[in-house]
Amino acid sequence: MPDAQPAHKRILLKLSGEALMGDDAFGINRSTIVRMVQEVAEVVHMGVQVAVVIGGGNIFRGVAGGAVGMDRATADYMGMLATVMNALALADAMNKQGLIARVMSAIAIEQVVEPYVRPKALQYLEEGKVVIFAAGTGNPFFTTDTAAALRGAEIGAELVLKATKVDGVYSADPKKDPSATRYNQLSFDQAMNQNLGIMDATAFALCRDQKLPIKVFSIFKNGALKRVVMGEDEGTLVYA
């Protein structure tokens, strides 16, 4: 029998910086990032085009104390630089695993990474390269969730994957309420009415307006990413 084909051909994976920490207080846990890259490599080898937006909280957390009282825009630009550091680490791990990764930054640091140019990003994806979008949207006051929604819409992603430590969206905090149940799927309106906080309001509204579905799943479950792209029952789907 022929191998099953992926249900999704182009995805945007949103990784928080905290996902790279493993059990560390801040920074990058090498074994954690290598395991994540192996998950990504598995779906890339199936022919899925993968773009990634990554946060910077794991690195910024280490300097957060000094940012108290800082101008918000300045702090946000520092956070953008943290995402560039994470993107470089992720690309390095991917290249060592046999993938070809390209980092594209929303702010100009051309000696380090290339600037974000949409046609070039699409070309890379069609060539089978992994594109890592760094520096958020390039603007303060916008989160990397919003960057994920924006870049997902720009590249024509079929699905935005919100990778978390929890295997979906629950009716309550499963750590505090053992009776909490996981939703298999939710409409955008249901998620907003229940104030589930899946993404920040700007990102969520952009996905809803563009009819870009979101899948919330655990990046720490072995094989979860593959099950998501195959269309299996993994995580929670939020749809228009």
Tracing tokens 């499963």 back to the chain, one arrives at 174
138 is in an annotated binding site: yes
47 is in an annotated binding site: no
User: In terms of Cα–Cα distance, which of 146, 210, 198 is closest to 169?
Assistant: 198
156 is in an annotated binding site: no
76 is in an annotated binding site: yes
170 is in an annotated binding site: yes
- Phi, psi torsion values for 11, nearest 5 degrees: -130, 155
221 is in an annotated binding site: no
186 is in an annotated binding site: no
16 is in an annotated binding site: yes
Contacts of 5 by beta carbon, 8 Å cutoff, 6+ apart? none
Strand partners, 216: 162, 236
**Residue 54 CB-density burial (10 A; 0-12 exposed, 13-18 middle, 19+ buried):** buried
57 is in an annotated binding site: yes
56 is in an annotated binding site: yes
29 is in an annotated binding site: no
Say how many C-beta atoms besides its own lie within 10 A of residue 73's C-beta: 11
139 is in an annotated binding site: yes
**CA–CA gap between residue 207 and residue 201 (Å, rounded):** 10
Tracing tokens 């956070």 back to the chain, one arrives at 79
Strand order in the sheet with 10-15: 114-115, 101-105, 130-134, 49-54, 10-15, 159-164, 214-218, 236-239, 185-187
**CA–CA gap between residue 47 and residue 126 (Å, rounded):** 10
202 is in an annotated binding site: no
142 is in an annotated binding site: yes
133 is in an annotated binding site: no
Tracing tokens 């949409």 back to the chain, one arrives at 118
Q: Annotated binding residues for ATP, as ranges? A: 14-17, 57, 61, 164, 170, 173
Residue ranges of the binding site for UMP: 56, 76, 137-144
**Binding site: what residues are annotated?**
14-17, 56-57, 61, 76, 137-144, 164, 170, 173
